[in-house]
Every structure is written in structure tokens, then in C-alpha cells.
């Protein structure tokens, strides 16, 4: 019952102003985090779930991490510590089945869910899409508009459709 009540109030506060909108924004940020803790898998300290975000009860989010304005995080998602997520990102944990040519795709159901994992200290740009089962390493930067279809190694900078490694942060620091 507690989980249901927390989800209900979270869905009310998700429509309140973003966290940077003065007093009411800061209050809304605290309320979204408070009620999210009551129904998601795990929630760290100082978490920011922004206005309009849609989250699953299978979300695990680490300390000092945020989910941006109007983001959609469906299915099982593990977010590390210190993750920055820009607005309008979409993270999928499952996809439609489409293997049969004899059955319309809408009637084939879904493939088995594959959790997504995002490491620590990751910056995800605006309107990034992360597909089912993808693992994002630590220290990664994902450029705005990228579609991530494969695992990303630690400290990579990725971009494009589909996303590919453009360079690594380790090269920049040497």
C-alpha cells in the first residue's frame, strides 16, 4: 500500500516545476525524491528527478545523480553515482518482438527485458536514447541526440546514430 501511495504522490509532483524554478522548484525536487524512494528499487542521497520524468519501480539510482526534465526510464535501470542526465532522454529495457513474418508485429508481444546499467560520473546529453541491455562505463560522456545500441567502455566520449566512440577522456588528460 505504501508503494502505491508513494507512486501516486510522485506522479502528482512530477508535474510541478523543475528544480531551478525558485522556492517551489526546490520544494518539488525534494518531494519527487521523497516519494520516489517509497516505490523504486533503491535511491541514493541528493537525488534529483526532474519535472515530467517517467520512472519505473525497477529504477536504482545512486548518490548525487539526476534524471532530466521529461526523461523516460522504463524497465530495470541501474544508475551509478554522480550521473548527469539532460532533458528528454529515453532509456529502454525491452523492445517489440518482430521475428515472425507471418504474424503482425503488434501481435508478437515483447522481447525479454534486458536491464541497462549506467556507471559512475556519466554525463548523458539531451535527447539521448539508450537501447535495452546496454552498459555504460564509468566517466563516459554521451553527446546529445546519440542512440546508444552497444556497450560503452570507461571514459569514452560517444556520439552519433548509432553511437560510436569518438575519443576517450584519458587521451585528453595525457
CA angle, residues 154, 55, 62, in degrees to nearest 5: 45
Which residue ranges form the domains of the chain, and what is each CATH number? 40-172 (2.160.10.10)
Q: Which H helix or E strand runs over 117?
A: strand 116-118
Mean pLDDT of 162-170: 94
pLDDT, tens digit, 9 for 90 and up, residues 79-103: 999 999 999 999 998 888 898 999 9
Per the rule left: phi > 0, alpha: psi between -120 and 50, beta: everything else, 90 is beta
Q: Which residues contact 59 (CB under 8 A, 6 or more apart)?
A: 36, 40, 41, 73, 76, 77, 79
Q: What is the pLDDT of residue 31?
A: 87
Nearest residue to 91 via CA among 143, 133, 35: 133
> Is the confidence at residue 172, as pLDDT, over 80?
no
173 pLDDT tier (thresholds 50, 70, 90):
low
Residue 164: pLDDT band with limits 50, 70, 90: very high
pLDDT computed for residue 88 by the predictor: 96
d(CA 97, CA 93): 13
Average per-residue pLDDT in the chain?
92
- Among residues 97, 89, 143, the alpha carbon closest in space to that of 116 is found at 89
Q: What percent of the chain has pLDDT over 70?
A: 98
At residue 174, the pLDDT reads 61
Residue 19's pLDDT is 81
pLDDT of residue 116: 96
Catalytic residue among 3, 30, 41, 96: 96
The pLDDT value recorded for residue 129 is 97
96 annotated active-site? yes
Average pLDDT estimate for 104-128: 94
Amino acid at each position: 500500500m505504501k508503494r502505491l501511495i508513494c507512486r501516486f504522490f510522485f506522479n502528482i509532483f512530477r508535474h510541478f516545476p523543475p528544480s531551478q524554478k525558485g522556492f517551489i522548484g526546490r520544494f518539488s525536487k525534494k518531494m519527487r525524491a521523497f516519494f520516489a524512494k517509497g516505490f523504486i528499487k533503491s535511491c541514493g542521497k541528493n537525488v534529483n528527478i526532474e519535472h515530467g520524468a517517467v520512472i519505473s519501480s525497477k529504477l536504482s539510482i545512486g548518490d548525487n545523480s539526476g534524471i532530466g526534465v521529461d526523461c523516460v526510464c522504463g524497465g530495470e535501470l541501474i544508475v551509478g553515482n554522480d550521473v548527469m542526465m539532460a532533458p528528454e532522454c529515453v532509456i529502454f529495457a525491452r523492445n517489440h518482438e518482430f521475428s515472425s513474418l507471418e504474424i503482425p508485429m503488434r501481435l508478437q508481444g515483447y522481447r525479454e527485458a534486458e536491464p541497462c546499467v549506467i556507471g559512475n560520473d556519466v554525463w548523458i546529453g539531451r535527447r539521448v536514447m539508450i537501447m535495452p541491455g546496454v552498459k555504460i562505463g564509468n566517466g563516459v560522456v554521451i553527446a546529445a541526440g546519440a542512440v546508444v545500441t552497444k556497450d560503452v567502455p570507461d571514459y569514452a566520449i560517444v556520439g552519433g546514430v548509432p553511437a560510436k566512440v569518438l575519443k576517450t577522456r584519458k587521451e585528453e588528460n595525457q
